[in-house]
Homo-oligomer: A and B are copies of this chain.
Amino acid sequence: MQEITEPKDRLLLGPGPSNVNPRVIRAMTMPLMGYLDPTFLGVMGDVVELLRTAFRTKNDFTLALSGTGTSGMEASLINILESGDTVVVAINGVFGLRIADIAGRCGANVVTVDAGWGSPIDIGLVKQALENLDKVKLVAAVHVETSTGVVQPMQPLAELAHAKGALFLADAVTSLGGVDVRIDDWGIDICYSATQKCVGSPPGMSPITLSPNAVEAMRSRQNKVQSFYLDLQLLEKYWLTDHVYHHTASMSMIYGLREALLMLVEEGLEDRFARHSLNAQALKAGLRELGMGVLAEEEFQAPQLTAALIPEGLDEAKVRRALLNEYGIEIGGGLGSLAGKVWRIGLMGESSKSSHVLNLLQALESLLARENYKFDVGSSLSAAQKVFAS
């Protein structure tokens, strides 16, 4: 038999995937069925209902794509945008850039509103950009930027878009299940997420929801969508209306997603957000004792992803490697211009636990001590515990 690489047990505290509850893993082992088996269609129906709860929406058009979060981003853009359409993209990190890239591949006229990585988008600049443009089809922004840990308020942007007669798209890949995402209340027309961050199942699917206005825009396009695989009108016929074959859905992933969503509903959205918030506060209190601040201003810090500023002079790659190899803990490095400057520490979904916060701080303290980095040993654990016990 061929020699193969054995997967290792990891505490996943990076930008995703996060760890998965054994209930979700067990669900994935349930028997495969035909993609049009009435019982399997029932499972899909459960997922649709649960997603509506997670997204806080009544949108008929709610389903999960057979692809990762990036496939959701792509589906959202290519089904709305046509060649020559104008789209305004707010960019303050990697995923805003990615939206602009994909919109460009649609042949759209892409206008960007940029902010520094780690800063929120300036609403005034978006307003100004919209005023300077004739007709705008879509305004797009990232709710929680995984590259920076910034959470951007979505409602003001949605209002600006609607005032201009444009649709509003929110990337909720990292936000859904970790902070509130209110599709209907905030007026989000197009929203996609992923399964492996705060939702709590393995990577491989992308929940997506479209408002009636977005569905209308999709139906009234002039040209066929570039993609057959991500053609949302065909997917609607499979998931939601006539159950016409489009592709062979990934039963195992759908079972896992359904179980994760059930757990989310059982926990309750508010309790879940409070858990994410508390664990993030404890983490940041601990990091502060180690001399590590946070990239984003406090008001814009996402609880599920903390971009921690690395102290000068520390060999961050060495510490990160040791965390992985000696402690089995994954945290993320910085992307792009933030490489070497921040660590991205995710406390998402099942990975958002007080014990994980303490494990990470303990490992970090031990490794920093070995590097002769100056701090009070034990102080980060104590500071975190003060938050938990408060």
Contacts and interface: CB of A to CB of B under 8 A. Distances in A.
Interface of A: 1-2, 4-10, 12, 14, 16-17, 19-20, 25, 28-35, 37, 39-40, 42-43, 45-46, 49-50, 66-71, 74, 78, 98, 101-102, 104-106, 194, 196, 202-204, 224-230, 245-253, 255-256, 258, 262, 265-266, 324, 330, 332, 335
Given A7-B255, A17-B251, A74-B228, A1 B262 contact: yes
A98 B68 contact: no
A14 B34 contact: yes
A360 to B, nearest CB: 15
The A interface, classified by DSSP as helix, strand, loop or mixed, is: loop
B196 A69 contact: no
A7 B40 contact: yes
B70 A247 contact: yes
B248 A17 contact: yes
Number of identical protomers:
2
Given A248-B68, A251-B17, A98 B228 contact: yes
A30 B22 CA distance: 11
A33 B8 contact: yes
Nearest to A22: B29
A105 B224 contact: yes
A7 B30 contact: yes
A59 B204 CA distance: 26
Contacts of A203: 32, 35, 66, 248-252
A7 B26 CA distance: 13
A40 B5 CA distance: 8
Contacts of A40: 7
Contact of A10 (B4, B37, B71): B37
B8 A32 contact: no
B10 A227 contact: no
A262 B29 contact: no
B252 A204 contact: yes
Closest 6 CB pairs of A and B: A5-B42, A204-B250, A203-B248, A202-B252, A226-B226, A7-B30
Given A17-B34, A32-B202, 15 more contacts: A4-B46, A5-B42, A5-B46, A7-B31, A7-B40, A8-B37, A29-B29, A68-B248, A71-B229, A78-B226, A105-B224, A106-B226, A202-B250, A227-B227, A229-B230
Contacts of A31: 7-10
Nearest to A197: B248
Contacts of A20: 32
A9 B248 CA distance: 18
Contacts of A246: 70
B29 A69 contact: no
A101 B226 CA distance: 10
A102 B28 CA distance: 32
17 contacts: A4-B43, A4-B258, A7-B255, A8-B33, A10-B37, A37-B324, A68-B248, A68-B250, A70-B229, A70-B247, A71-B247, A78-B226, A105-B224, A105-B226, A105-B227, A227-B227, A252-B256
Given A30-B7, A33-B7, A34-B12, A66 B1 contact: no
Contact of A228 (B10, B37, B101, B228): B101
A248 B196 contact: yes
Contacts of A46: 2, 4-5
Contact of A69 (B78, B227, B247): B247
